[in-house]
Homo-oligomer: A and B are copies of this chain.
């Protein structure tokens, strides 16, 4: 079976100028991958007719499906709709059903329809309208010479709902995909090249239809096996067998398989072991708690946090002893030990973790440069600390530290 090839086009000057980040193309990639379609190119272009029409022509030559986001707003800088009308050689006209929908949308919010909004219901007459259940700009579906073009709003949650509810089901009814299977192996605590050395014999013995990729991230390296074949069941079995052979070569570092990040894996373990977590985070400023609570259902194992950012709050609210702070400073091993132990006992939790460091750019001292971060883990049997020497970048230091705490939890959880 031939692979189904897709191109993704994101339209908007604000993307090229870097004033809005295009998160849509990434999300669409993930969703298409799940259904076995192959994204062969993603392109971002500006709000200019010539650029848009050229991109349409190029994409049509390479792909079976062209998915377009952006440029559908009610304002005059939005050109996608007139360009589509021109490309498919048909007129723009008010679509009665679309007009009813946009009118109802405004009515439900107690607002009058303006003329600008009315124009959102004008669509190329040769397209099939796709309802926007949570916004005002409808999507559009075009077919030409066996190729499909779909245009969607750039607002991420509107695009996502449209993709999941309408477009992906409709694409799957139109294009059948060959078997394409990915298996992710997630590791933490080892660098890419050292991991590559450890598994090089295994890698060399992989068959031609299975490809390995190294995906380094913040403190972690993901390995991705991608296989193609005619039969999905056979392919899955084949890939799973290769994963099994890999396991003993990197068992200390593998924390999971698939899409679940470390906070989800740890959450599952805490839930299974019926352990409750509490956090005292200073330099990470809420980011560690955010990672934990970004996981649905985290209230089953996460009790809460203190963020004692201020020196006084570390004493008065959390309860770190003034002697400890005065003698060793807030960024020190004795302080981090107290922070983890205190938050565990105060919150009546099984596990307490803590962070304290110099995220930067300010706050450094000669013996504690920016990037100096202490982290700690505490349960009723032990307290474990770790000193991190990180970067000059505040955001990176916050993220690295939070990830390091998650790994500290992973390796120290009671069996």
Contacts and interface: CB of A to CB of B under 8 A. Distances in A.
A212 B77 contact: yes
A394 B77 CA distance: 32
A217 interface: yes
Nearest to A318: B304
A289 interface: yes
A19 B185 CA distance: 12
B293 A285 contact: yes
A354 B105 CA distance: 31
A396 B160 CA distance: 12
Nearest to A20: B215
Interface stretch (A92-100, A122-130, A232-240, A305-313): A305-313
Contacts of A33: 17-19
B304 A307 contact: yes
Interface in A253-303: 279, 281, 285-290, 292-294, 296-299, 302-303
A274 to B, nearest CB: 14
Nearest to A22: B26
A362 interface: yes
Contact of A289 (B211, B285, B294): B285
How many copies of this kind of chain does the complex include? 2
Interface stretch (A38-46, A83-91, A140-148, A242-250): A38-46
B286 A213 contact: no
Report the contact-size class of chain A (Cβ under 8 Å from the partner).
35 or more
Nearest to A281: B286
Given A75-B192, A299-B310, A299-B363, A16 B40 contact: yes
A350 interface: no
B14 A213 contact: yes
A114 B157 contact: no
Contacts of A363: 299
A155 interface: yes
B214 A313 contact: no
A20 to B, nearest CB: 5
Interface in A308-323: 308-310, 312-313, 316-317
Contacts of A302: 309-310
A222 interface: yes
B308 A304 contact: yes
Q: Is the interface of A mostly helix, strand, loop or mixed?
A: mixed
A31 B290 CA distance: 29
Contact of A294 (B40, B307, B395): B395
Nearest to A160: B393
A398 B294 contact: yes
A136 B15 CA distance: 30
A29 interface: yes
B293 A290 contact: no
Contacts of A103: none
Given A29-B16, A288-B286, A299-B363, A347 B75 contact: no
Interface of A: 12-23, 25-33, 38-47, 51, 73-77, 111, 114, 116-117, 134, 136, 155, 157, 182, 184, 192-194, 196-197, 200, 203, 211-217, 222, 224, 226, 279, 281, 285-290, 292-294, 296-299, 302-310, 312-313, 316-317, 346-348, 360-363, 391, 393-396, 398
22 contacts: A14-B213, A18-B27, A18-B30, A18-B31, A18-B39, A40-B45, A40-B46, A41-B44, A41-B45, A73-B216, A75-B212, A77-B211, A157-B391, A285-B294, A285-B298, A286-B286, A294-B398, A302-B309, A303-B309, A303-B310, A307-B307, A312-B348
Given A16-B40, A136-B193, A293-B307, 5 more contacts: A19-B224, A21-B23, A74-B196, A304-B307, A313-B347
